[in-house]
Structure 1
């Protein structure tokens, strides 16, 4: 699947979450953990669903859309053209992993 095959709502939800993950709040950390669990769960860690209890409803809706996208796409976000954005999240939230992702 290529990024142009994403539904408009999926693309918007993913881009919203990528922006949230670049913040410095508890919600940003939750979003980053969620996204990185899709990127590489073995290296970046699994996602504890109870952490979502602390996110706003609009963020949760975007997370649900992206979860559906990840399931439907049968691919990692890099295949959708989001390597650079996820690399930035790794630098922010998983600096110990360096540029290996």
Structure 2
């Protein structure tokens, strides 16, 4: 699992502590039953496998608190510049757990 305090390399891409913190916050939000957990899970599952789990409804951002929206924005911006999947970051098991809980 990639959630650690040091920058690391995945697929020749350096991931900053800020992006790691954003992913950590989003994963925790999606798995701990926060009020915005379902919206966060939808965002993460769209990254994980949109054809299977559906795309992310952008209006779901309205259901996230400010800190969570900022984390989603950080990840989204990073993803727009880096072609990394959750599998590239060794997050498969975490995302499988999220999908088991939230997939319809």
TM more than 0.5 = yes
What is the aligned counterpart of 2:20 among 3, 8, 11?
Answer: 11
Q: Which structure has more strand as a fraction of its residues?
A: 2
Q: Which structure has more helix as a fraction of its residues?
A: 1
SS of the equivalent of 2:36 reads helix
User: Taking structure 1 as the reference length, what is the TM-score of the superposition?
Assistant: 0.85
Q: What's the CA shift string for 1:71-90, capped at 9, x where partnerless?
A: 22212111011111111101
Count of residues in Structure 1 that have an aligned counterpart in Structure 2: 95
Preserved CA contact (<8 Å) 1:38 1:70: no
Runs of 4+ in 1 over 6 A off after TM superposition: none
Structure 1 residue 69 displacement after superposition: 2.0
Give me the whole-angstrom Cα distance separating, in 1, the residues matched to 2:62 and 2:18.
Answer: 23
Structure 1 unpaired stretches of 5+:
97-101
Matched residue, 1:2: 10
Q: Does 1:84 align with 2:93?
A: yes
Matched residue, 1:41: 50
Residues 73-82 or 12-21, more deviating: 73-82
Give me the whole-angstrom Cα distance separating, in 2, the residues matched to 1:78 and 1:72.
Answer: 17
Give me the whole-angstrom Cα distance separating, in 2, the residues matched to 1:15 and 1:25.
Answer: 14
